[in-house]
Each structure stands twice: as C-alpha cells, then as structure tokens.
Amino acid sequence: MKLYDFSVQNHLGQHISLDKYKGKVVLIVNTAIHCGLAPQYQGLEKLYQTYHEKGLEILDFPCNQFGNQSPESDEETAQICEVKLKNSFKPFGKLNVNGPDTHPLYRWLKKGKAGLFGADIKWNFTKFLVDRQGRIVKRFSPVFPPAQLTSYIERLL
C-alpha cells in the first residue's frame, strides 16, 4: 500500500483522496491546538512556506485522543489554525490515531514505521515523512522540532 490508497475527510466533512498528493513529499502530523507542543505549528508553517513550491505538502490531522487537547469541531479548528496560528495549510477532519477506531491511514503509518516504544502514537505532533512515491520514509517523535526536518525534506525534494 501507498499513501495514495487512502482517503480522509477535510475540515468540511468532504472525502478527499490522497492520490491528489502523487509526486509530492508529504509530512503527516497528528496535532492538537491546545497541546503544549502546539508552538510546533510555527515551525511547520515555516517548512510549508519554504518548501511548498518545491513539492512539500503538510497534512495536518487534528486528534483529540491525548488529554482532550483538540475538542473543537473540525470547522472551528480550521478557523483557529488560519486566523490565530496563521497557518497556510488547512487541517483535515479530526481522526483517531490509536485504538479500535484508528483511521486506516494511521494503521498503515504505524505498521510501516513503529516508534521507539512500539507502533502506537504516543502523543500529539508525531510526524511521518512520505516520499514522492507515496512510501513512508521516517517517523519522528512528538518532540522532534520541525526545523530539524529540513535535511530530511531536502533529500526527498
């Protein structure tokens, strides 16, 4: 399987096929706007501004499974990301990254690249880097700063 085999919902509840990202380098992040790691949004935005024209896409998946840190509706989250956080990339609809209701995309990501302590996502802002062919290249921990992703991204671009 590849990234392009999945579909997700955007913040308006519309189904989006991820095959629209064919040929792109994709950074997938589970986020929460009230998380202590939320300042990473600034670093993600900087990456997006720097590399989007060269083929980088950031797929932001809000998740409320860690400490109820993303309780807003999908539309409210998108508005906060755009207005307050000043993000150019839009979040998708909220999804589950662990448990029996794990979204198939995250089942694939976790199976493809387990973390240091197993496959489950441990916290918000776990990052997965996917190459232009839709293959998972690397998984990064929640505390891994977006600024340190530049060398990995540049190699794939």
Query: Which residues are part of the catalytic machinery?
Result: 35
Looking at this protein, which amino acid is placed at residue 70? S
Those residues with Cβ within 8 angstroms of residue 153's Cβ, 6 or more apart along the chain or in another chain: 25, 27, 47, 51, 56, 129
Q: Extract the tokens encoding 15.
A: 């189904």
Q: Which helix (H) or strand (E) holds 17?
A: strand 15-17
Residue 104, helix vs strand vs coil: helix
Phi, psi of 10, deg, nearest 5: -80, -175
Closest CA to 84 of 96, 76, 74: 76
C-alpha 131/C-alpha 16 separation (Å) is 19
